Structure 1
Amino acid sequence: MDSPVEIPFKSFIQIDRKSEVAVFMQIANQLIYAIQRNLVLPGTKLPGTRVLGELLDVHRNTITAVYDELYAQGWVEIKPNQGTFISSELPFTEKLRSGMPEYVYPQQTGFTFRKSNLLDNPFENTTCDYVFNDGVPDVRLTQLNDISRFYSANIKRRSNRKRMGYYNQEGSEYFKYQLSYYLNLSRGLPVSTNNLLITRSIEMSLFIISEILLSAQDTVVVGRLSYFSANMIFQKSGARIKTIPVDEEGIDTDALQKLCEQQQIRMVYVTPHHHYPTTVSLSVPRRMELLRLANHYGFVIVEDDYDYDFRYDKQPLLPLTGANATGMVIYVGSFGKSLAPGFRTGFIVAPDNLMREMRKYLGIIDRQGDIVMEQALGEMIEDGVIHRHLKKSLKIYQERRDFMADLLTNDFEEYLSFQKPNGGLAFWLRWEKPVNLLQMSYQCAKSNLFIPKTLLYQTKDLSGMRLGFGSMDEGEIKESLGILKRCCSDL
């Protein structure tokens, strides 16, 4: 084996004097890495503490601590009157070192694994100053002072310290009580805490539902245009996606019935309040027909109410699950969407027996939870902060919707058609003439306006675009639409 002086320790041991990690642990860890990479082989004798200390410019007592740590972990053995050696009992790999190259973390695994094209990240990054999204709130309207006050108070509260030490995977009972009260009051849902599961997002809710309810080759029905993330989740579970038309009254229930007559349907995914992406509401007759079909054919309805709180012109239609007498509807939504992104949470409403199974899955993928967040949100409901903030922000969002509708009417009449949405934070635009939407988005990006590919819907019969207005003020809306119009004219 190599003698101690032949090993270039300084090539693989670098000491950071400013690090919070003790120097002896830095040296010990780097020696362990060197052993694992065959830079120092089993049976190799290590220098004496004084010699290695001088070489690395540390006190010999530091090296003594290094050797003690390596011995305690089993990396070295100490032979009386001989010295300290790399343990000869360590496994000897075939791949021997050649020289002392600088270690580079591997770029490829040494094993194979499953890859999923379905889960490729569809989102893009941009440096443009102006960005259209699919309809998210404006963080600048968030009442940060109120949020920080409630959150800070809960962190400091002595009674919460024990809860922070151990999180009940079923979530904060206080928050669930307040949320059930809120859902009862705002959406007419007669639910209790036993019917609620707190998640991080709508996507997590859909993932849990899919894991429990979907098997390979099950059929899930969605609108002919639908939420892409939901489709990805269903397909990842092995389900087959079938689409049905969507018109001014929402999904076509006649087409759904014909499909049910032809094959077994496991699940129907709907966004009835404002269909994604077209923003239309599912009409009352079709709501009743959808429930009838579910009872008759036995499929599950997953009702995604992603933007229920954003309604301007009239009272919102009550959720389907409010008429869920036979237990065929699972209701998912998000709470606190008008708040900053970090203060939002998802939830599922379902019958007790399904909820018990869902809690098992949540306990695996999100056992830690966020007790402080849930306590703060619960207090914001009880104190009325959520209601006051939503009422104030709704007025601003309605003004922005009306402003954008006027600009679209005046400046884009020859290009596109649209219906002013009665709720939500986005417009659905249909281009009257065939236009290459991807090319248009490239042109806009060159002019400092970013339109993500996820907002573009193009087939041989349709050129459509979902553009959110909630996150922009009127000046930003005007500038963004101005860029869009100029790019339209150039195509």
Structure 2
Amino acid sequence: MLPYATLLHLDKKGATPLYVQLSEQLGQLIRAGTLSAGQRLPGTRLLANQLAINRQTVVAAYDDLLAQGWLDSRTGSGTFVADHMPTVTPLSFNELERTRPKATPVQVEQPGYAFETRTYLTRPALGSPAGLRFDDGLPDARLAPLDELSRAYRSYFRWGNPQAHFGYNDTKGNSLLREQLSAHLNETRGLRTTSANILITRGSIMGIHLTSQVLLRPGDVVVTGETTWTGATMNARQAGAQLLTVPVDVHGLNVDALADLCARQPIRMVYVTPHHHYPTTVTMRADRRIRLLQLAEHYRFAILEDDYDYDFHYLGRPILPLASADPQGMVVYVGSLTKSVAPAFRVGYVVGPTALIDEMARLRRIIDRQGDPALEFAIGQLFQSGEMKRHFRKAIRTYEARRDHLCRLLTSELYDQIQFTKPDGGLAIWATFNQDIDLEAIAERTGRAGLYLSSGLVHNLPGQLLNSTRMGFASSTEAELEQAVVLLKSLM
């Protein structure tokens, strides 16, 4: 008879039911060879007495192992380890002690097989910091039309055919949202789309991923600005592409440098954020936009235009996207509503030629069968009712006032330590700290004091220290911005 009271350790105060603990630990003893194939287990009453537990707990554990095929029950003889179990060399006493189930299970950290760790995927995930913050440029969820969205969301559950509402839906996204979004993009951005040109995604990052997977093959060359969004570069690398960069100045991507690259080697795709370049917020000049489209048509490369915060522009009418002046279908236009409503609502979109959208929808099906039909329907309702337009107007006025207020505060309080240019749009300013200021140390110090400030290290060029960071203003009230600047000044 094995010393079951020693081999088994049940936590009677733990959250896991005792019969589950007993079943799992007996299974471990079988897999370790301590209990061999065909070996008879003690009767339920005897084992219950040894472990000082209820007999029904042992019965439930045995039943569980019988159902899984680990045990066999032989009428009149008892319960045995199944005969089909492979022969395992029993562990020595010392090995048995090391592997004996502990009261607190140890989490397995490394698998028993090899896999590749992709270092380019190791980047800090963008969060929504609590308290005072200069974030990456996030919207203020307090301004989002949550009551209206909630009513529209509930209507999805009350109206229509439940079989249609709660079954599988179109992989391209909810038809109402695609129709409304097509009309919105045509009106505000000068696009010429129908719903067939639009694929709804879970944020712009999914649109960039699908574009990269469909268009890129290992060895293809992708060009970005020297400063750019790592979410895009990670997707390009994941597709096996080679990354090249060109300078970005106060007028956006340097298209002359891009032309030189095109003359020397084939380019498959160029990734740009022309409206508010990420992270520096500069707007690409009109002549450069025209030149970029000409280069794409001549050299036959795709342009991936990420227009992540087009709706928030404060200096008159914003410059129209590249996609609005693209008769040849060279531009894949990606956008997001997460900046318009709140990051938790994962709704983005890809706009492109119908053949490309169809292929992306086929790929999306094996990644994420469909989006969130109820949420997409609700946001489509807000577009249809005009609520989204009202929200945009309100948010633009509020964010412009906050931008101006932060710029005044930085100018008056930190004029000799921080340089910046007031952005024409977007939700953050690009701030450069004096070179004698250790921005990383400042970020650590402000974090301990309750103020989030990015160190900006993720934006550094290879071998260079920009000493710059994005200081988001949209998610904070004017009073909160004042408190944040006062605290930052005191810590600097």
Find out whether 1:47 has 2:51 as its counterpart.
no
Find out whether 1:7 has 2:12 as its counterpart.
no
Aligned residue number for residue 297 of structure 2: 295
Q: 1:462-487, CA deviations, whole angstroms, 9 ceiling, x for partnerless residues?
A: 43222111111112212222233334
- Matched residues in 2 for 1:444 and 1:336: separation? 27
Which of 460, 469, 478 pairs up with 1:474?
A: 478
Shift of 1:372: 1.0
User: What TM-score does the superposition give when structure 1 sets the normalisation length?
Assistant: 0.89
Shift of 1:57: 6.5
Shift of 1:319: 1.3
Aligned residue number for residue 96 of structure 2: 98
Q: Spell out the pairing of 1:362-377 with structure 2 (5 A cutoff).
A: 362-377=364-379
Aligned residue number for residue 225 of structure 2: 223
- Matched residues in 2 for 1:16 and 1:30: separation? 17
Instruction: Answer with 325-334 or 229-238: which moved more.
Output: 229-238
Cα gap change, 1:359 to 1:90, in 2 (>3 Å): same
Mapped contact 1:13–1:31 kept (Cα < 8 A): no
Identity %: 38
- Matched residues in 1 for 2:128 and 2:36: separation? 49
Shift of 1:394: 1.4
Instruction: Answer with 271-280 or 362-371: which moved more.
Output: 362-371
Look up the equivalent residue of 1:194 and give its one-letter code: A
Q: Spell out the pairing of 1:230-245 with structure 2 (5 A cutoff).
A: 230-245=232-247
- Matched residues in 1 for 2:129 and 2:293: separation? 46
- Matched residues in 2 for 1:127 and 1:317: separation? 31
Aligned residue number for residue 139 of structure 1: 141
Mapped contact 1:295–1:328 kept (Cα < 8 A): yes
Cα gap change, 1:65 to 1:107, in 2 (>3 Å): closer
Cα gap change, 1:482 to 1:53, in 2 (>3 Å): same
Find out whether 1:277 has 2:279 as its counterpart.
yes
Mapped contact 2:33–2:89 kept (Cα < 8 A): no
Mapped contact 2:364–2:370 kept (Cα < 8 A): no
Cα gap change, 1:58 to 1:429, in 2 (>3 Å): closer
Shift of 1:414: 2.4
Aligned residue number for residue 437 of structure 1: 439
Aligned residue number for residue 169 of structure 1: 171
Aligned residue number for residue 249 of structure 2: 247
Aligned residue number for residue 259 of structure 1: 261
Q: 1:326-384, CA deviations, whole angstroms, 9 ceiling, x for partnerless residues?
A: 11110001025221322241111111111122112211111142111111111111111
Q: Spell out the pairing of 1:310-459 with structure 2 (5 A cutoff).
A: 310-431=312-433, 433-454=435-456, 457-458=459-460
- Matched residues in 2 for 1:403 and 1:118: separation? 37
Mapped contact 1:438–1:456 kept (Cα < 8 A): no
Instruction: Answer with 172-181 or 67-76: which moved more.
Output: 67-76
User: What TM-score does the superposition give when structure 2 sets the normalisation length?
Assistant: 0.89
Look up the equivalent residue of 1:419 and give its one-letter code: T
Look up the equivalent residue of 1:406 and give its one-letter code: R
Mapped contact 1:10–1:56 kept (Cα < 8 A): no
Aligned residue number for residue 78 of structure 1: 73
Look up the equivalent residue of 2:73 and give its one-letter code: I
Consecutive unaligned residues of structure 2, counting only runs of 5 or more, are none
Q: 1:102-161, CA deviations, whole angstroms, 9 ceiling, x for partnerless residues?
A: 253433222111011100132488988422111111122223222222222323445245
- Matched residues in 2 for 1:442 and 1:60: separation? 57
Shift of 1:171: 2.0
- Matched residues in 1 for 2:275 and 2:359: separation? 27
Instruction: Answer with 219-228 or 63-72: which moved more.
Output: 63-72
Look up the equivalent residue of 1:48 and give its one-letter code: G
Consecutive unaligned residues of structure 1, counting only runs of 5 or more, are none
Shift of 1:164: 2.0
Q: 3-state DSSP class of the match of 1:78? A: strand
Count of paired positions: 483
Q: 3-state DSSP class of the match of 1:441? A: helix
Cα gap change, 1:314 to 1:16, in 2 (>3 Å): same
- Matched residues in 1 for 2:164 and 2:33: separation? 47
Look up the equivalent residue of 1:436 and give its one-letter code: D
Mapped contact 1:337–1:344 kept (Cα < 8 A): no
Cα gap change, 1:487 to 1:157, in 2 (>3 Å): same
Q: 1:274-315, CA deviations, whole angstroms, 9 ceiling, x for partnerless residues?
A: 111111111111111110010001111000000011011211
Cα gap change, 1:18 to 1:106, in 2 (>3 Å): closer
Q: Spell out the pairing of 1:99-114 with structure 2 (5 A cutoff).
A: 99=97, 100-102=100-102, 104-114=106-116
Find out whether 1:121 has 2:123 as its counterpart.
yes
- Matched residues in 1 for 2:127 and 2:355: separation? 42
Q: 3-state DSSP class of the match of 1:165? A: coil
Instruction: Answer with 353-362 or 324-333: which moved more.
Output: 353-362
Which of 474, 485, 488 pairs up with 2:489?
A: 485
Mapped contact 2:431–2:468 kept (Cα < 8 A): yes
Aligned residue number for residue 84 of structure 2: 89
- Matched residues in 1 for 2:388 and 2:429: separation? 25
Mapped contact 2:433–2:439 kept (Cα < 8 A): no
Mapped contact 1:455–1:466 kept (Cα < 8 A): no
Instruction: Answer with 159-168 or 364-373: which moved more.
Output: 159-168
